[in-house]
Structure 1
Amino acid sequence: MHKLDDLLARCIGAYSQNTLRGYRNDLLHFQKWCEKRGEEWLPAEPDTIARFIDEEAETKAMATVKHRLDAIRFAHMIADLPRPTGHSEVRLAVRRAKRKKSTRQQQVLGLTKELLVRMLEACPDTLTGKRDAALLSVGYDTLCRSSELVLLRVEHLSPCRSRLLVPRSKNDQFGEGRTAYLSEDTAKRIGEWLTASEITDGPLFQGLHTRKLAKRPLVTASVRRIVKRAAERAELTRPEVSALSGHSLRVGAAQDMFVVGFETLGIMQAGGWKSQNVLARYVEHASTQAMHLRRWKRLSEIHAEARIPAQSGPAPQPNLGVANARSR
């Protein structure tokens, strides 16, 4: 029987730690499910996986079901075993799950420029406030994911702080990197944070303990907490705070770029997207709203034009002479 830890140990260095951690959690869940029913988890029979999917779909989101199925497929591939996930029994179980519940994921609230300005203005003039303001600004300008923000180092900044290197991303597992550009305001906030913290190298955004540097980088969960804390300081509504996440900076920046007229390819390059479908989900709300705003504005203009007289001055008088001539 294959041991899970031994299986994943082979993959260290070939896959990111986050990816392996996710696979491990999903496979542990599947392994325990199989053990309770006296089933083998590796290799797993197609009908075992199908029953697992049917049960998972009762309580889990479709995205979670897909993640766990991907993990099962991955384990069989790494163990050089036939992949039962392509069997018709499994495919039918996936279709049942999709028909049972929506596959549409809940969209996080985009942290657009309007919300960003409010949150930046609410950041206090403290070491924590300077770090939070710099992180929010960098996240918005670069369209970085939380996992990318925590990997940034001082060495990735250009000398004038007008751009930085994003060394690795979800879609760039081999570390080719991409260049992201920073506004003057963002460069200023980074400078204020680095000066106050006296950081000269190493992780750009570091944790703080009792208002002192912890001398270690933030974790992805910290980015989410910083975003929500800044939103609370800015007195956003409770539903708005709840809908925000570490991904909101990326989503909001993409929405703003779309609304002001950037083409899809330009936004994809700026945010390091490989799929138009993924980007479309982020900007659909912004594009639909912008379309309706234009519609309402144009209809209001048409309505106003219809109410304005065609010419100024007194209203034209009827030609009584012509009318009298006709009556005769």
Structure 2
Amino acid sequence: MMTMTIDRPHSLSAALGGPTLPNEVRSRLLAFEEIAVDAYAPATLDLLQRTAMRFAGYLRSQNHKALPEKPEAIVGFIERLGAEQKPASVRAAVAALSTLYRAAGFEGARNPTRSKLVALALRRLDRAKGTRQRQARPVYGPEMARMLAACPHDLAGLRDRAMLTVMSACLLRRSEVVALRVGDVFRERDGTASVYIGRSKTDQTGDGAYAPLNADETAKLTAYSAAAGLDPDDPEQTDAPLFRRVSSAGRLLDRPLSKHSITYLVRRAAARAGLDEQVVAELTSHSLRRGAASEMLDAGVSALEIQQAGRWAGSSDMVSRYTNARTHRRDAAASRRALLDLRESSVIRPYRQQAEPA
């Protein structure tokens, strides 16, 4: 099991000052690290780590002491981040910084991240740069079909075809894709299957969820599994990664794909399919998830059902954000058709004809 101790060069306590911290503060941070490693998701731990290192670097550049209590230091950090990042990312960093301060014992009014000055700095950043978040460009059915058809028939191509199919069908996040194991696929006699998603961003306690695959989707996954020698009924392979790296020689490796490689593979498949370069550049690992959610909306699936299928938290507005642009385009197209019909109707045509020059 992964542990975080002061001996690690990049532990939170070391990043925030290490030996320069007061003994009580360092002890609190060490105790927090021991618990946090099992209490937080890896992505949260990574955010805390990156924030601690960036904040410490900023403090050194300004000759501030470690974990200063003056809110002016936090405001300066916000301005530094705001020059490089979007407001949402800066707010996430400040929230992580607030967690670190609380872990170090700075509660209530002693926590400078909770000061009015910091709140105003964040508001100023929102007004200066806007709060609209850039969303991944969705991949819809026709584009998806081209991407799947363009995947080669070697092992890497079979893997990519199966992975893209499962990502779209199950509305998977990239963290969920790389976490899949061979034993998470349950095939049925009718040629369909279901995929068990053991843990997700909104399911940190590991209750799990099942997502269905139809016969065609299952066939693509089966083709990859057969070529890779992956057998879900083999107890020795149950916990082995499902989607793995493939060597340049075409050999399946034991290491799973990394989260950061998913976007690259999505873009590679799109480039192979001949999609426009600008379109390819706008794709991310979330493009398939967003596209699937939008098409479910078009098919008449309710927002609640989409939310459950994609494992969004009950309080999340992400479904409406994913489908908002699709809804607007659909409504705009319907309005356009109605206007054209009206222009050609008997009500308007006579007036148009009178206005035309002889």
Q: Deviations over 1:236-276 (max 9, x none)?
A: 00010000011111111111111222111011001011134
Give the corresponding residue for 2:170: 142
Contact 1:143/1:254, CA 8 A, preserved across alignment: yes
Whole-Å Cα distance in 2 between the matches of residues 118 and 166 of structure 1?
A: 27
Whole-Å Cα distance in 2 between the matches of residues 205 and 125 of structure 1?
A: 16
Give the corresponding residue for 1:196: 227
Letter aligned with residue 56 of structure 1: L
- Secondary structure of the structure 2 residue equivalent to 1:12: helix
Whole-Å Cα distance in 2 between the matches of residues 167 and 77 of structure 1?
A: 31
Give the corresponding residue for 1:285: 325
Whole-Å Cα distance in 2 between the matches of residues 283 and 213 of structure 1?
A: 37
With normalisation by structure 1, the TM-score equals: 0.88
Whole-Å Cα distance in 1 between the matches of residues 267 and 162 of structure 2?
A: 15
Give the corresponding residue for 2:310: 271
- Secondary structure of the structure 2 residue equivalent to 1:11: helix
Which runs of structure 2 are paired with 1:53-72 in the superposition (5 Å)? 53-72=78-97
Give the corresponding residue for 1:259: 298
Whole-Å Cα distance in 2 between the matches of residues 299 and 305 of structure 1?
A: 10
Give the corresponding residue for 2:266: 227
Letter aligned with residue 65 of structure 2: E
Matched, 1:95 2:106: no
Whole-Å Cα distance in 2 between the matches of residues 289 and 186 of structure 1?
A: 29
Q: Deviations over 1:207-231 (max 9, x none)?
A: 1112111112111112111101100
Whole-Å Cα distance in 2 between the matches of residues 299 and 73 of structure 1?
A: 53
The RMSD of aligned alpha carbons is 2.1
Give the corresponding residue for 1:28: 53
Whole-Å Cα distance in 1 between the matches of residues 275 and 320 of structure 2?
A: 26
Structure 2: 5+ residue stretches without partners:
1-11, 17-29, 232-236, 350-358
Give the corresponding residue for 1:73: 98
Q: Which has the larger radius of gyration?
A: 1
Whole-Å Cα distance in 1 between the matches of residues 343 and 194 of structure 2?
A: 47
Q: Deviations over 1:171-191 (max 9, x none)?
A: 111111111111221100010
| Residue 95 (structure 1) shift | 1.1
- TM-aligned CA distance change 1:122 to 1:306, over 3 Å: farther
Percentage of identical aligned residues: 31
| Residue 43 (structure 1) shift | 4.9
Of the three residues 274, 285, 288, the one matched with 1:249 is 288
| Residue 149 (structure 1) shift | 0.6
Give the corresponding residue for 1:205: 243
Q: Deviations over 1:129-154 (max 9, x none)?
A: 11101001100011010010110112
Give the corresponding residue for 1:104: 132
Give the corresponding residue for 2:19: none
